[in-house]
Structure 1
Amino acid sequence: MKVLVPVKRVLDYNVKPRVKADGTGVDLANVKMSMNPFDEIAVEEAIRLKEKGVATEIVVVSIGEQKAQETLRTALAMGADRAILVTAEDRVEPLGVAKILKAIADEEQPQLVILGKQAIDDDNNQTGQMLAGLLGWGQGTFASKVEVSGDSVTVTREVDGGLETDKFKLPAIVTTDLRLNEPRYASLPNIMKAKSKPLATKTAADYGVDVAPRVKTLKVVEPGKRQAGVKVADVDELVMKLKAMGIAK
């Protein structure tokens, strides 16, 4: 079984984002970039399926600038078999990403596509669902457990008040949640081996996909500063202030 894993190069989660002075977006100049954490979990899950003998090949895909090769090499060092980079100098919206992934899925014919539930840079949480719609495949989103048996996959997902378990036929789409697994660190020998693993470079035009933006970002602003707290002398004063705010009756 072939598994396709899309990954995205994003601002490292340990870095505090800075908004550009003109408010057009987040400043990415001279900052640390890394693989989207949810996508890293997706890569790990694919590797675990391969270690169990369920998956036979793992193909990782990234859409972005040439520097995204670093992200793909990280996935290869973790244990993926080969990579595809679809170059794009400008940001590609979720629908464009989903269309490119559909074209790649049509070409590669994977039985399972595993991807992060969302990217931490824009938090859209759209690509997996759009891809499932374009392909007409079943989907299991926010997966906290994945089990593949025969020609079906069972996904456990967290919902309000408990867990929901869904079972659907392959091929299918699965989007990963934080509780699915703990991604491994790539060892030095595997990092060296990753340099010789196949990495194909394509463009959106190669797949006949138009990635022209359909959404215009009007303005990006930083969150407002948190207001300082107020000290109260006793419980009675606290209750009084809460009543004045309409929080308590």
Structure 2
Amino acid sequence: MNIVVCVKYVPDATADQKFESDNTVDRVTVPGLLSELDEYAVEQSLQLKEKNADPESVTVTALTIGPDQAADAIRKALQMGADKGVHVVDDAVAGSDAPATSKVLAAAIEKLKGDGGVDVVVCGLGSTDGAMSVVPAMLAERLDLPQITLASVVESQGDQFRIKRDGDTATEVIGATAPLVLSVTDQSGEARYPSFKGIMAAKKKPLDTWSLSDLGVDASEVGLDAAWTAVESTEARPPRTAGEIVTDEDGSGATALVEFLASKKFI
């Protein structure tokens, strides 16, 4: 079985976020990391391998798109236990939206099929920067595969898969036959931490770098100019101001508090 897990390198939420002059997110100078929601996808991919009757016959490939620094997301997946990585890096990809991203990922997955086919494509709930959650469905359409998405529980037996999807009022049980596209939520199981052994082993695992030309994707079909959406403008968050202190000397503190909350339309 061959499993491809799609991961994304995103800006660290604790760092100072910046935008480029074209209003795209700065992914080069701002520190980044593997998207937390994609860690759950890596975890479920590894569990599928470990629960297989013949784990050694299962290969987990971590796939990402992004600048040179995005290789760090692949390395984290390799440290967790993935077998190999593929990094699509090309200046023309910068500014791509979800449709273009799914196009490049699908092309990379088609190329990986040459290594013996791809049985399962695993994605996270969504990226912590874009938070669109539509790429798994777009991938399924482009690859002409069934999709079982937003899984909180994943079960498999051979090529048969069954998931549980939690809704507001009920839990759905959905089944499908591989090959398929699977996405998992942050309720699917805590992601493991890389062990020292895993960190050392990751240094010897293969990490291939592909460009758009390697995938047969025309640069005019991706990037900011081809995006269906655009950010018109951005502005920095205003600096935090000092809070208002109410001195309650005559019992009027409660009234002042209510008036303040009312003025902000909190009540």
How does the TM-score come out when normalised to structure 2? 0.79
Structure with the largest fraction of strand? 1
Q: Give the fraction of aligned pairs with identical amino acids, expressed as a percent.
A: 29
With over 3 angstroms needed to count, the CA separation of the structure-2 counterparts of 1:200 and 1:141, relative to structure 1, is same
Aligned counterpart, 2:234? 220
The whole-number CA distance in structure 1 between the counterparts of 2:239 and 2:100 is: 35
Q: Please tell me whether residue 166 in structure 1 is matched to residue 184 in structure 2.
A: no
C-alpha displacement at 1:229, in angstroms? 9.3
| Structure 2 SS opposite 1:67 | helix
Structure 1 unaligned spans of 5+:
none
Q: Which residue type is aligned with residue 188 of structure 1?
A: F
C-alpha displacement at 1:98, in angstroms? 1.4
Aligned counterpart, 1:96? 100
* Pairing of 1:22-61 with structure 2 (within 5 A): 24-28=23-27, 30-53=29-52, 56-61=58-63
With over 3 angstroms needed to count, the CA separation of the structure-2 counterparts of 1:208 and 1:153, relative to structure 1, is same
| Structure 2 SS opposite 1:92 | coil
Aligned counterpart, 1:148? 156
Aligned counterpart, 2:249? none
Contact residue 19 and residue 220 of structure 1 kept, 8 A: no
CA offset digits 1:38-87 (Å, max 9, x no partner): 11111111111111126611011111112222211111111111111111
Aligned counterpart, 2:139? 131
C-alpha displacement at 1:16, in angstroms? 4.7
With over 3 angstroms needed to count, the CA separation of the structure-2 counterparts of 1:221 and 1:160, relative to structure 1, is farther
State the superposition RMSD in angstroms: 3.0
> How many equivalent residue pairs?
246
Aligned counterpart, 1:72? 74
C-alpha displacement at 1:226, in angstroms? 9.8
C-alpha displacement at 1:154, in angstroms? 0.6
The whole-number CA distance in structure 2 between the counterparts of 1:168 and 1:219 is: 43
Bigger shift: residues 185-194 or 92-101: 92-101
With over 3 angstroms needed to count, the CA separation of the structure-2 counterparts of 1:65 and 1:20, relative to structure 1, is closer
C-alpha displacement at 1:195, in angstroms? 1.0
With over 3 angstroms needed to count, the CA separation of the structure-2 counterparts of 1:219 and 1:187, relative to structure 1, is same
